[in-house]
Amino acid sequence: MSGASSVENGKLGGRPKYDNNIKISLPDIELVILTPKQYGSLIEKYGYELFYKALKILENWLKSSPEGEKYKGKNNYAHFRSDGWVINSARFL
């Protein structure tokens, strides 16, 4: 395996690594990290209203929950699964 492919595909060809320096910047969101491409795909998938509610829910959880500590500073794209707790919580607000 070449060094370039391991960087592109993550360690041993796993999930791709995301550069945390390339992330969206929103006024009310400090801790949720998404790339611009991920942000666009989530808005397309859920619509702006639902996605923004989910962003606020995840942001508040990262700020207030001790369990959220291990997710700070990491890409949070996986939290926005269609069957995940963040999106389901946003649907019922």
Bridge-partner residues for 33, per DSSP? 75
Report yes or no: 58 and 86 within 8 Å, Cβ to Cβ: yes
- Tell me, what's the pLDDT at 22? 77
Q: Which two tokens stand for residue 78?
A: 């996986």
- Tell me, what's the pLDDT at 93? 87
List CB contacts of 13: < 8 A, sequence separation 6 or more: 1, 5, 6
- Tell me, what's the pLDDT at 1? 45
- Tell me, what's the pLDDT at 23? 85
- Tell me, what's the pLDDT at 10? 55
- Delimit the domains of the chain by residue range: 19-91
Terminus-to-terminus CA distance in the chain, angstroms?
47
- Tell me, what's the pLDDT at 65? 94
List CB contacts of 90: < 8 A, sequence separation 6 or more: 50, 51, 53, 54, 57
Identity at 66, one-letter amino acid code: P
- Tell me, what's the pLDDT at 77? 95
pLDDT mean by block of 10 residues, the chain; 93 residues: 51 58 85 94 97 97 94 94 96 92
pTM reported for the whole predicted model = 0.77
